[in-house]
Chains A and B, each alone.
Chain A
Amino acid sequence: MAEKEIPILEVKGLKTYFTTKKGTSKPVDGIDFVLNKGETLGIVGESGCGKSMTSLSILRLIPSPSGKIAGGSILFKGKDLVKLPESEMRKVRGNDISMIFQEPMTSLNPVIPVGEQIAEAIRLHQNLGKKAAWEKSVEMLRLVGIPSPEKRAKQEPFQLSGGMRQRVMIAMALACSPEILIADEPTTALDVTIQAQILEIIKNLQKQLGMGVIMITHDLGVVAETCDQVVVMYAGNIVEHTSSKELFANPKHPYTQGLLASLPNITEDVEELRTIEGTIPSPYNLPKGCRFSSRCPHSKDICSERNPELFEVSDDTKVRCWIYSDNWNNQSKREEECLNEKHS
């Protein structure tokens, strides 16, 4: 490869704001990432950090009228989705970019047989007859590993188990061979054994179809199993952007370190699991400085004064923390000097 391939998705400075009577909330506040073909990007963070809003923003499905993309761009193969008219956007949804939702129990229309729902997704974007679309939907069900798909296609959602329904959702999302699949916590609502199967299916289909996957999760196990690069979000910001390997081997941001430390360790025998003290700040009232400063064990004066930018620590790792700036050591020195002065 002489030249670097154009990424299929490039998010630049994306901001999604909600205006309500309580004020303006900023669940997504200036995030950047790049997704290449065939790659899996993980977005990790605790509830309310803006990861789901990021994915809904990409498909422009933020609840209106309160929610709005307030800035930035989302480039899909060079085309800015933020500026696309709604009718063009509909052609992108499901056809170029699809999404799997968290809750398989409620993500299917309860009164329509599942095969017909998949066929409908196909017919929205492809000029196929009813029968051809039906055959393709049965084919999709077979692809996601549903036994006797001809029979299952005729059944209604309530006759299928949670794992089956999530497979149907995947079949529906992949029916038009999209280039990007956004999986919003696809395994959270499922049993652990089914979780592994579903992840396996997504991984295999990704290989077959060569699509890019954005895996949104709060489960670091899922990240370890599936992702190439990882974005850690905290209160609407990306706090660490690194490769999956680096994340586990060498977490840089204090928040990431806290997250990993709070995972139970099989070799240790402890009474209580470790937690990160405090809670995520309200998106209506974000602190002036670093958003993690109130919970950070290394916090210094500068942390509550200014929000750090993303510092590039190595080729594939960026961290939003003052520790990785030159200022940090000066700060420390100054504080030490202050202390020394007091002592003397």
Chain B
Amino acid sequence: MSIEVKSELNHSVSQVLNKPKESQIKNALAILLSNKAAMIGAMIIIFYLLIALFAPLLAPYDPYAINLDNKFIPPSADHWMGTDDKGRDILSRLLYGSRLSMGVGFAAVAFGALFGIMCGLIAGYYGKWVDSIIMRVMDILLAFPGILLALAIIAALGPSLINVTIAVGAFSVPLFARIVRGSTLEVKKLEYIDAVRSLGANDFVIIFKHILPNILSPIIIQGTLRLATAILSAAGLSFLGLGAQPPSPEWGTMLSSGRDFLFSAPYIALFPGLAISILVLGFNIFGDGLRDALDPRMKN
């Protein structure tokens, strides 16, 4: 396997010599493409993204339409995943719900990454007391178990999907900050930073043009892996009734409403549960593959 990867690599390197740009990206892509698990992960993610994008076209029924004559229908030709306690088509609800669940995940990670990267860059670049203050705040955030912190934030802000996004994002902030700070410390010592400073560049240019692009790999890796956790946490919070409220087809909420019929109609909870697990698995194995491809040093 490793030999295969190497030959792929050599191949891509020789290609690179003829085609200058996108060199490292090509390199990483070659490693990523040869990683079967990562490719399965990528396919899962793409599949889900397509579903979210085309949900209205794919859904056979209205996800909110209550039809009490049709309740508790097991999976059948008309309703592939059956119907729930109010006669709503589970498949349609799942398809629409993918928009909510994935949307919350992406928004939360984007929020966490934005603040985390800022804090990490500033702490790492300026050092001294700025670093101490920012990183101690991050340590405090990290000291809470993630879900507990999210619960506290929602308790303060009130239950809603937006607040879940903020809460889940908040406990990603310190993780991004730590990774970005570490990489910044490493990169800012390199000679080319001195070189651009000797040319008269200011801190803003140095941080955003010369440091940030060089520490993107760990950020992308962390982002992908955090997406899995964020989706899971958001679904968990909705399951507890702190996020999306019924009749919203958010997967956690659907799981929660299926809980009461676990013995009589297990399919109501089964399908949202499966949807969450497979997506989280997809992000995790893709994230691992991405890490191997972008940062070989982090392997093991």
A positions within 8 Å CB-CB of B: 59, 61, 65, 90-95, 98-99, 101-103, 106-113, 120-121, 124-125, 154-156, 158-159, 169, 172-173
Contact = CB atoms under 8 A, between A and B. Distances in A.
Interface string B182-221: 0000000011101111111110010001100110000000
B199 A172 contact: yes
Contacts of A108: 192, 195
Nearest to B193: A109
Interface stretch (B18-26, B138-146, B267-275): B18-26
B198 A124 contact: no
Contacts of B201: 90, 94, 120, 124
A124 B194 contact: no
A113 B195 CA distance: 15
Interface of B: 16-17, 20-21, 23-24, 128, 190-192, 194-202, 205, 209-210, 213-214
A94 B201 CA distance: 9
Contact of A173 (B191, B199, B202, B209): B199
Contact of B20 (A61, A98, A159, A173): A159
B210 to A, nearest CB: 5
A166 B16 CA distance: 22
Nearest to A125: B200
Contacts of A155: 20
A124 B197 contact: no
A154 B199 CA distance: 21
Given A65-B128, A154-B20, A155-B20, A106 B190 contact: yes
Contacts of B195: 99, 101, 107-108, 169, 172
B192 A124 contact: no
B209 to A, nearest CB: 7
Contacts of A101: 191, 194-195, 198
B198 A61 contact: yes
Contacts, number: 81
Contact of A93 (B16, B192, B200): B200
Given A107-B192, A156-B21, 14 more contacts: A61-B198, A65-B128, A90-B200, A91-B200, A93-B198, A99-B195, A109-B210, A110-B192, A110-B214, A112-B213, A113-B20, A124-B199, A159-B20, A173-B198
14 contacts: A61-B194, A61-B197, A93-B197, A94-B201, A98-B198, A101-B194, A101-B198, A103-B191, A109-B214, A111-B213, A120-B209, A158-B23, A172-B199, A173-B198
A117 B254 CA distance: 53
B200 A92 contact: yes
B17 A159 contact: yes
Contacts of B20: 113, 154-156, 159
A106 B200 contact: no
